[in-house]
Structure 1
Amino acid sequence: MEELPDGSVLLVTWPTAADFASEAARQAQARALVHLRPELDFDTVLHTLRERSATLAPVEPHFHPDVAPLLSRTLDGFAISERQRKIAELNVWQPPEPEEWLPADAALPSDLEDPQSVLAHYGYLSERLVALLHSEVPSVLQETPESLTDADVYFWSEDFPKTRLREAIDEHAVPAVGAYLGEVLVRHLGGRWIPREKLEESQVLVGQRIWLPFVRARRYLQSRQSLLEHSLTQLYRVAERHRHGPPSSRR
């Protein structure tokens, strides 16, 4: 016990701070608290302390592999007292399989007279996302799979769908995110744009599947939860996995 300059007292109930949540340490803490506050019940206090220990007990992450890089970084957004419980929840959580694809033989042909100008427009839209995020997410300048995860983390940390105006999201963010996702598919998976007059019909052919990045972006930016359920990280991982697979068909 040590008296502090302000007149309070520091009471050490266990010699090693790292063991504060052990059973013996919790019993010592309960005895000290009940001694200082006789109106408290020892068993009740001890039960409460044991519950705190259980909350803080380490949980090994076993996240879904397609979104593990994303989920592991969202944990920083939770208080230490909540983190282990959140890991346990995320260990059993399964993101829905991406639905923004069709078999390659179902691809819509381009309906544009000047597809090259539209491809240039996709590049412009992608650059708008870079302009929006480059200060907070420098990796977006590289247009890599890792930058997709960095963007996922940023949008989730900011609770972007809730903290920005819906009109601005639909008009500006959705096209920019969709174009950026498509550009990464083209650059790193050998994809090929199939431009369409309607933005959401625009496709990227990767192997035996066509992907609809603008449809994904719209679903992605609906809510904070949808940022995880329809992440850019997951779609890229699935597209990568099916790049050299056999012809696919929708079930």
Structure 2
Amino acid sequence: MKVLEPRDLKEEDSLRLDFKGAFDSRALESELEPFVQALEEYADGWMPDVVGGKRQRKYSRRSFWKTLEEQRDGNSTSIGLYRTQWPALDMSLWLWLPPRTPELDVAIKVEPLSFFTETERCRKFVEMVRAWASRYPVSHASAHSVADRRLADAPNFGRDMQTAIRDGFDKIYEVSWLNVFGPKLVEAVGRERMLSTPAWRVEELPNGSVLLVTWPTAADFTSQEARQAQARAHAHLRPDLDFSTVLRTLQERSATLAPVQPRFPPDLAPLLSRVVDRFPFHERPRKIAEFNAWQPPEPDEWLPLSDALPPDVDDPERVLSSYRLLAEHLVAMVHSDVPSLFKQTPESLTDLDFYFWREDFPNTRLRHVLDEHVVPAVGAYLGQVLVEHLGGQWLPRQKLGEAQVRVGQRVWWPMIRARRYLRSRQSLLDFSLSHLFCSAERHRS
């Protein structure tokens, strides 16, 4: 079974639930029955259909229990729950067992967040969490946008990692779309104050916890109304905070997440669209704006045909064969990651640009290896694409760095381009192979 993973999709924002509750480990199956029952009843449209452990199985009660048993290792056991169809689900369940304090640890990520635009679907999600929190007492649980959580620096909230691990969610650092505050937090705030919080839903649970939902739907958390509701709840629970300041911070986060329309330089749009998609969702609008304002230098690795260096080799065919071998060497080096290199097309140049950028090739490989082996191979490959697709002609030279490719009334220097290209990660964009090809294509007549 092929589970649908976030990397199979263009990454979007997700809804994430973090839930850690206490449970009685003496009768595991009967104790977890309410957990499974609530999941099956309320997972509206995102119900897992795959159980993952030592092997993947189609979801069923039987496979759920069987995998938990197989995964048991001393004082813990865990399983993964996934989907094979949209929306994507990444759900994990960890059970900590004696001699450790028994704990049920659940993390759910459903992508995309836009799946939770319907009030009824969100209501069912809330009911599921309510059922779990009523049966498995928590100190704190929350569900919210992954992108907004990152902007809020959750779960550290400005603290160093060691302090955050030590103290946990010991006060109201943030109010999420959905919250469960355990009895200790409720008493710290004051039960009366907690229950009078201005929010869409506030409910005291039988075990003393309080369920608080700021807004009917999760997906529109950046709307002005939803942000005001979030700010009102936070300022109410933390009287030391100023409502206007809290709201302004939330609005700034909304502005950071606001979509930006790409207006990339046309030659580089296919490459930059892929580069942008590699950034976390909450950083993507800013990167799109940066690339919209960025202009790469116009390729200048060329001379008028009248100024070209004439061929100076005794056996041109042997030298041309060496260029082809260098290009084949590049294909051999990275074809498993960039299979399109076999085709030697303009699109393969874009694929190569993206691959080198993704892998940060200039900074993750030895410099002498790059200079001695990769630069010549990249230059030869670029030259071969100019020859194959623009009717170019190699002008071979004794010095490899002086090799030129004639296209129309210009000669291009692919080896010089390759040397500039592989200086740094930024230079892979500034001196991309695909940009030079597009420039040569425009000037070939």
Q: Which of 33, 39, 55 in structure 1 is aligned with 2:234? A: 33
Q: Which of 382, 390, 393 in structure 2 is aligned with 1:181? A: 382
Distance of 1:24 and 1:146 partners within structure 2 = 45
Unmatched segments (≥5 aa) in structure 1? 245-251
Q: Report the 3-state secondary structure (helix = DSSP H, G, I; strand = E; otherwise coil) of the residue aligned with 1:193.
A: strand
Equivalent residues in 2 for 1:55-74 (5 A)? Answer: 55-74=256-275
- The aligned residue for residue 19 of structure 1 is 220
Counterpart amino acid of residue 101 in structure 1: W
How many residues get paired? 244
Q: Which of 80, 97, 114 in structure 1 is aligned with 2:315? A: 114
Q: Report the 3-state secondary structure (helix = DSSP H, G, I; strand = E; otherwise coil) of the residue aligned with 2:362.
A: helix
Q: Which of 283, 287, 295 in structure 2 is aligned with 1:82? A: 283
Q: Which has the higher contact order (CA 8 A, sep 6+)?
A: 1
- The aligned residue for residue 161 of structure 1 is 362
Structure 1 runs of 4+ aligned residues shifted over 3 Å read none
Distance of 1:78 and 1:102 partners within structure 2 = 38
Structure 2 length-normalised TM: 0.54
Equivalent residues in 2 for 1:122-141 (5 A)? Answer: 122-141=323-342
- The aligned residue for residue 203 of structure 1 is 404
The structure number with the bigger radius of gyration is: 2
Q: CA deviation at 1:76?
A: 2.0
Distance of 1:65 and 1:193 partners within structure 2 = 28
Distance of 2:374 and 2:215 partners within structure 1 = 53
Distance of 2:278 and 2:440 partners within structure 1 = 28
- The aligned residue for residue 213 of structure 1 is 414
Q: CA deviation at 1:78?
A: 1.4
Equivalent residues in 2 for 1:231-242 (5 A)? Answer: 231-242=432-443
Distance of 1:62 and 1:51 partners within structure 2 = 23
Q: Deviations over 1:32-83 (max 9, x none)?
A: 1222223222111111100000001111000001111111110122121111
Q: Deviations over 1:131-164 (max 9, x none)?
A: 1111111101110000000000000011110111
RMSD, aligned α-carbons: 1.2
Distance of 1:171 and 1:200 partners within structure 2 = 12
Q: Which of 344, 358, 368 in structure 2 is aligned with 1:143? A: 344
Distance of 2:335 and 2:238 partners within structure 1 = 55
- Residue 51 (structure 1) aligned with residue 252 (structure 2): yes
Distance of 1:135 and 1:20 partners within structure 2 = 42
Q: Deviations over 1:69-100 (max 9, x none)?
A: 11111012212111101101111110101110
Q: Report the 3-state secondary structure (helix = DSSP H, G, I; strand = E; otherwise coil) of the residue aligned with 1:18.
A: coil
Q: Which has the higher helix share?
A: 1
Q: Report the 3-state secondary structure (helix = DSSP H, G, I; strand = E; otherwise coil) of the residue aligned with 1:67.
A: helix
Q: Which deviates the most, 214-223 or 74-83? A: 74-83
Q: Report the 3-state secondary structure (helix = DSSP H, G, I; strand = E; otherwise coil) of the residue aligned with 1:216.
A: helix
Q: Deviations over 1:96-118 (max 9, x none)?
A: 01110000111111110011111
Structure 1 length-normalised TM: 0.94
Identity of matched residues, %? 67
Distance of 1:20 and 1:108 partners within structure 2 = 63
Q: CA deviation at 1:18?
A: 2.1
- Residue 243 (structure 1) aligned with residue 410 (structure 2): no
Unmatched segments (≥5 aa) in structure 2? 1-125, 141-179, 181-210
